[in-house]
Amino acid sequence: MSNELIPLSHFLTAKRQAASPIAYHAEQYHDADQFYAAVKSWVIKLKSQQVQRYALFTKDAYPFAVMLFALFHAGKEVWIPGNNRPGTALQLQQLDCQLTGDWDTSRTFDYCLESTECSGLSLVPLDLAETKLVMFTSGSTGQPKPVDKHLIQFQLEIETLEKQWGKQLAHAEALATVSHQHIYGLLFRVLWPLSAGRCFHSDCYFNPETLVKGVHQDAAAYWVASPAHLKRLDCGSPWHGITNLRAVFSSGGALQYEVAQQILAWSGQSVIEIYGSTESGGIAWRQQDSAWTLFTGMSLTQTDDCWQLHSPYLFGQAGLRLDDQISLQDDGRFTLHGRLDRIVKIEEKRLSLTELEQHLMAMLWVAEAFTLVLTKHRDVVGAVIVLTEEGIRSLKTKGRKPLIKQLRKALYQNFDAVVLPRKWLFLERMLLTAEGKIEQPILKHLLDMESRKFPSVLGVDKTNDRVELKLNVPEDLIYFPDHFSSYPILPGVVQIAWAEHFGKLFFVIDQPFVQMEVIKFVNVIQPGEKLKLMLNWKAASGKLYFSFISESDTHSSGRMVYGYSR
């Protein structure tokens, strides 16, 4: 172990400089004494509670660290979900989890970060092997799966990371565009900095511009990023600030070689990619290379067509089966060729979704592609496409159906017709989770909506609290014959229902509907209409703003209010 590391088990009991900055939160630095006081205050409260299992979700990383260590020292079981959506909350409550943190979006949770009490409370070191937390991995289906992790696994991985990059980072502060609610963000932006004595920033910076501005004058910093954030860098990005970073890390998927080369050319930064999973922890790393280098102590063995990982982080396991296709080189490094669990059968035809996506992205019109299986009366493939500039021009000039026909014709050169995508969704950019992974459940929902009751989604653009959907109103909606047969128009109540449906799909709206405000129906919506649905969620006030507009008119607008009766 590096002499600079403080074991996570002793973080609250080891002697260290009291004024050492732990984190930068709410525009001020919080030192070790402040951190200890806040944790101890919570330990007292938690020990008095009978509840044993807690689901911890916080928007910011510093309150998360306070609550995490308080729960550990109070002897509680900690579950760390990837989001705070109502469905997630319900599932956790059904598993006897007490929700703690930022679950109620209409209220601010008091983390007691300024507490100075309980200074006389004596804490004992944690047992690294016994202290555990439960994290979630989405797997290939997008459905969360709980995974038990022990603190010793994180500590061993921290030691490996520190030996590899500790000198390079020195006393750099950790800034991130990924969430701490997932293993990569938890390790790289919270636990590793805590153990190594580096300050971490509590805010999650959603773009490189705000991240670079968050670097304080004369302070060294490094960036914990994902491929989704890095591939959006362009000539207008803050390259001078990126150049000055000590390191740029990336995980959550493979970074395209062309993107890595562009970043190197424009900033001099050679992105450090990390390959791993929630189950395995970190497995390997690479820089500007197609091959991955295993971390110290790791090895791979092959049984039949499957690869087994042997890792010092995995106790009591002969090996962990990897769901990736791997080619091992003579020098011990390896290359990846997609996931084994993305092999599906459509009408008894074997199909690699990864291969299908690669063929799509090789086309002139496609910048990004994601495919999945939709289970209907028979399984069909759905495709989510981000178009290139050429693809956007083709969509505008030729239309949607001719472009789809063009894409299917090109795919037909390599795939049987039965496995070609039958449902298509074109987006301006891929929908991603907080940690930069593809929003599989939302994309599946958009592709799989009942066509006689909902509009066709032609495109989606989402930011933190705003969504713009491009919609086509099908001519065969069930609402038109009764409203009215001679002059069909879309009923206002259906427009409101659509706005609420999409609002709850994209935002965390976990309170009951109260009332409508300033609802206006200005121009009718008829079959075949092309619309934009603009949604804006104001969590603080519990209001969902919506408007349906077309190129020439505003058709309707209003806001829905959510909350609890007083």
Q: How does pLDDT run across 422-431, given as a tens digit for each residue?
A: 999 998 888 8
Q: Which two tokens stand for residue 79?
A: 């579950």
**Section 67-76 average pLDDT:** 97
For residue 397, what is the enclosing H or E element?
Answer: helix 389-398
The pLDDT value given to residue 220: 96
Q: Are 192 and 247 in contact (CB under 8 A)?
A: no
> Hey, is 497 helix, strand or coil?
helix
Q: Which three-class secondary structure string do you get for 414-451?
A: CCCHHHCCCEEEEECCCCECCCCCECHHHHHHHHCCCC
The pLDDT value given to residue 228: 78
The pLDDT value given to residue 363: 96
Does 492 score more than 60 pLDDT?
Answer: yes
For residue 57, say if its preceding peptide bond is cis, omega within 30 degrees of 0.
Answer: no
Query: Is residue 398 situated within a structural domain?
Result: yes
**Section 381-395 average pLDDT:** 94
Of 455, 460, 482, the residue nearest 470 (C-alpha): 460
Model confidence at 84, pLDDT cuts 50, 70, 90, reads confident
**Section 148-173 average pLDDT:** 96
Query: Is residue 297 situated within a structural domain?
Result: yes
Q: Are 419 and 411 in contact (CB under 8 A)?
A: no
Question: What secondary structure letter does DSSP report for 159?
Answer: H
Q: What is the pLDDT of residues 257-277, one digit of tens each?
A: 889 999 999 999 999 999 999
In which domain, by residue range, is 289 found?
205-337
Does 143 score more than 70 pLDDT?
Answer: no
- Angstrom CA distances, 552 to 11, 424, 527, 559, stand at 62, 26, 16, 22
Of 78, 122, 131, the residue nearest 100 (C-alpha): 78
Q: Which two tokens stand for residue 176?
A: 């991130």
Query: Is residue 426 situated within a structural domain?
Result: yes
364 & 509 share domain: yes
Does 327 score more than 60 pLDDT?
Answer: yes
277 & 403 share domain: no
Q: Which two tokens stand for residue 194?
A: 């805590």
Say what the alpha-carbon torsion angle 463, 468, 474, 477 is, to the nearest 10 degrees: 80
**Section 354-372 average pLDDT:** 93
- With a pLDDT cut of 70, the percent of the chain lying above it is 96
Cα 398 to Cα 378: distance, rounded to the nearest angstrom: 30
Q: Are 19 and 47 in contact (CB under 8 A)?
A: no
- Look up the CATH number of the domain holding residue 404: 3.10.129.10
303 & 269 share domain: yes
Query: Which range, 38-42, 117-121, 142-146, has the best average confidence (pLDDT)?
Result: 38-42
Does 126 score more than 90 pLDDT?
Answer: yes
Of 247, 306, 258, 298, the residue nearest 276 (C-alpha): 298
Does 140 score more than 60 pLDDT?
Answer: no
- φ, ψ for residue 176 (rounded to 5)? -140, 155
The pLDDT value given to residue 462: 83
367 & 473 share domain: yes
302 & 347 share domain: no
413 & 500 share domain: yes
Q: What is the pLDDT of residues 340-351, one digit of tens each?
A: 778 787 876 778
Does 434 score more than 90 pLDDT?
Answer: no
The pLDDT value given to residue 348: 65
The pLDDT value given to residue 377: 67
Does 301 score more than 50 pLDDT?
Answer: yes
The pLDDT value given to residue 3: 53
509 & 361 share domain: yes
- Look up the CATH number of the domain holding residue 308: 3.40.50.12780
How many domains, in total, are found in the chain? 3
Query: Is residue 179 situated within a structural domain?
Result: no
For residue 337, what is the enclosing H or E element?
Answer: strand 334-339
Would you call 331 exposed, middle or buried from its count of C-beta atoms within 10 A (0-12, 13-18, 19+)?
exposed
Model confidence at 141, pLDDT cuts 50, 70, 90, reads very low
Between 78-87, 148-157, 338-347, 498-507, the lowest mean confidence (pLDDT) is in: 338-347
Of 16, 106, 97, 4, the residue nearest 55 (C-alpha): 97
Beta strands in 14-70 (DSSP E): 21-25, 28-31, 53-57
Query: Is residue 183 situated within a structural domain?
Result: no
Mean pLDDT across the chain? 90
521 & 428 share domain: yes
Domain stop point among 337, 367, 382: 337
The pLDDT value given to residue 463: 77
241 & 115 share domain: no
**Section 279-297 average pLDDT:** 94
Helix axes 400-411, 353-361, angle to 10 degrees: 120
295 & 408 share domain: no
Query: Is residue 258 situated within a structural domain?
Result: yes
Cα 258 to Cα 361: distance, rounded to the nearest angstrom: 13
Query: Is residue 31 situated within a structural domain?
Result: yes
The pLDDT value given to residue 450: 86
Does 53 score more than 60 pLDDT?
Answer: yes
For residue 88, what is the enclosing H or E element?
Answer: helix 86-94
Does 559 score more than 60 pLDDT?
Answer: yes
The pLDDT value given to residue 429: 83
- With a pLDDT cut of 90, the percent of the chain lying above it is 67
Domain stop point among 310, 337, 364: 337
Query: Is residue 178 situated within a structural domain?
Result: no
Does 229 score more than 90 pLDDT?
Answer: no
294 & 414 share domain: no
Q: Is 359 left (phi over 0), alpha (psi -120 to 50) or beta?
A: alpha
Q: What is the pLDDT of residues 32-43, one digit of tens each?
A: 989 999 999 999
Question: What secondary structure letter does DSSP report for 76?
Answer: -
Does 360 score more than 80 pLDDT?
Answer: yes
Domain stop point among 337, 358, 389: 337
The pLDDT value given to residue 464: 74
Between 320-324, 343-347, 383-387, 473-477, the lowest mean confidence (pLDDT) is in: 343-347
Cα 22 to Cα 68: distance, rounded to the nearest angstrom: 14
Cα angle value 104/107/109 (rounded, 5°): 85
326 & 411 share domain: no
Q: Is 197 left (phi over 0), alpha (psi -120 to 50) or beta?
A: left
Q: Which two tokens stand for residue 171?
A: 């006393």
Say what the alpha-carbon torsion angle 408, 414, 415, 417 is, to the nearest 10 degrees: 50
Of 61, 316, 384, the residue nearest 194 (C-alpha): 61
Does 415 score more than 60 pLDDT?
Answer: yes
**Section 421-449 average pLDDT:** 86
**Section 371-395 average pLDDT:** 90
